[in-house]
Structure 1
Amino acid sequence: MARRLRSVGLEFVESAPVRLVFAREVSAPPETVYRALADDMAGWPEWFTAVTLCRPTDGGKGREVRLKGGTRFQETIVATDAAERYAYRVDESNAPGLRALVEEWRLTPAGTGTRVQWTFAADGAAPFRFFLKLGRAGMGRAFRDAVMALDRRLTAANA
């Protein structure tokens, strides 16, 4: 059953009790990476294997996301700074113990490519926070694999 989460703002990215931050460089320019994140929501499952569905809601102001294993999110997009930042807050989820979540994707030029930084800022019950910290390495691998797959996808599309 989906539960309503605490409504937090973009500042939560810096103040969350649990912040997992991962970064990786890709060969595509920031504008191209941003379009893949913000404009091609339906394409997320093709490069982020944990995602089974990603689609816009509320006229593009929100997203519905489903993950492997059955976790679901209803999100509000909180930042759309073209070629620089894309962020969203989870408003409803069936994830046990989750109380608040904001994810931020920061894009900075890196030579001819882009440095992609993903911040997963969350709060939840003590067991949720414990398991999230314990799962940091796995989330890091998932991020690395997703960004590498996104880079391959963008490179193939521009070839």
Structure 2
Amino acid sequence: MARSYDLEPFELDFFDTAPIRFRIDVNIPVTPARAWAELTRQNTLDWCKPIKSIDFTSPAPYGVGTTRRAVLSPGYLTLNEYFFDWTEDPENTKFHNAFRVESINVPGLRRFGEYTEITPAAVGSRLVWTFALELGPSSRALNAFSNPASTPVFRTIEADTLRHFAHLSPQG
């Protein structure tokens, strides 16, 4: 059985105070509802090269308390995620969620999570995606995703996401 390392919990303010943060802030040419549907479906982010798979491990409908498993390419890192924030309000065009990683299969992280927000833009939607992490005492195994040299990984996720949404129909 694979080893599991528990991470420390945190709240929304961590996305502003984490020692390491990366933010993607882009406009995408689809409606907020369409963008939200893509980012919250089973097997989401299948368009991102650094991600091997993402599977919701809780049944739909998703919300606070939802869990998910992510495997990063090429398959060495597995993260178990817990959504502690989830607002899905199509009537008022409010879409955002946040998860924290509860456990990972390699040592090195103290805290890690993502915050996603979708709002209307002049054309399509604005996607703001914030990654926040804090390294633990034995972080060598995770250096590829957690230091300034990791910028290409996040830029790849951004480019892959822009390419994916550019090929979707605006309404879905």
Whether these two folds match at TM > 0.5 is yes
> TM-score, normalization: structure 1?
0.85
**1:42 aligned partner, one-letter code:** N
Query: Paired residue for 1:67?
Result: 72
How far apart are residue 84 of structure 1 and its match?
A: 2.2
Does residue 110 of structure 2 align to residue 99 of structure 1?
yes
Of stretches 126-135 and 143-152 in structure 1, the one that deviates more from structure 2 is 126-135
Partner of 1:51: 51
Aligned to 1:36: 38
Q: Is the 8 A contact 2:81 2:103 kept in 1?
A: yes
Note if 1:20 corresponds to 2:25. Answer: no
**Root-mean-square deviation (Å):** 2.3
When the two structures are superposed, what TM-score results if normalisation uses the length of structure 2? Answer: 0.79
Map Cα deviations across residues 35-77 of structure 1 (whole Å, 9 max, x no partner).
1112x131421x1222221111133511011111311000001
SS in 1 for 2:49: coil
- Quote the offset at 1:11 in angstroms: 2.1
Report whether the alignment pairs 1:119 with 2:130: yes
Per-residue CA distance 1:53-111 (angstroms, 9 max, x = gap)? 11111335110111113110000012222242122110001244111011011112111
Distance 1:77 1:145, change over 3 A: same
Equivalent residues of 2:124, 2:170 under 8 A apart = no
Secondary structure of 2:45's match? helix
Shift of 1:2: 2.1
Work out whether residues 79 and 88 of structure 1, in 8 Å CA contact, stay in contact via their aligned partners in 2.
yes
Question: Where does structure 1 lack aligned partners over 5 or more consecutive residues?
Answer: none
Q: Which has the larger share of helix?
A: 1
Mapped partners of 2:116, 2:106: distance in 1: 21
- The question of 1:90 aligning with 2:95 is answered no
TM-aligned CA distance change 1:90 to 1:117, over 3 Å: same
Matched-pair contact (CA < 8 Å) for 2:30–2:170 = no
Kindly indicate whether the alpha-carbon contact (under 8 Å) linking 2:30 and 2:171 is maintained by their aligned counterparts in 1. no
User: What is the distance in 2 between the residues matched to 1:95 and 1:114?
Assistant: 36
The alignment of Structure 1 onto Structure 2 pairs a total of residues equal to 156
Task: Look up the equivalent residue of 2:42 and give its one-letter code.
Answer: M
Q: Which residue number corresponds to residue 162 of structure 2?
A: 148
- Identity of counterpart residues, as a percentage? 21
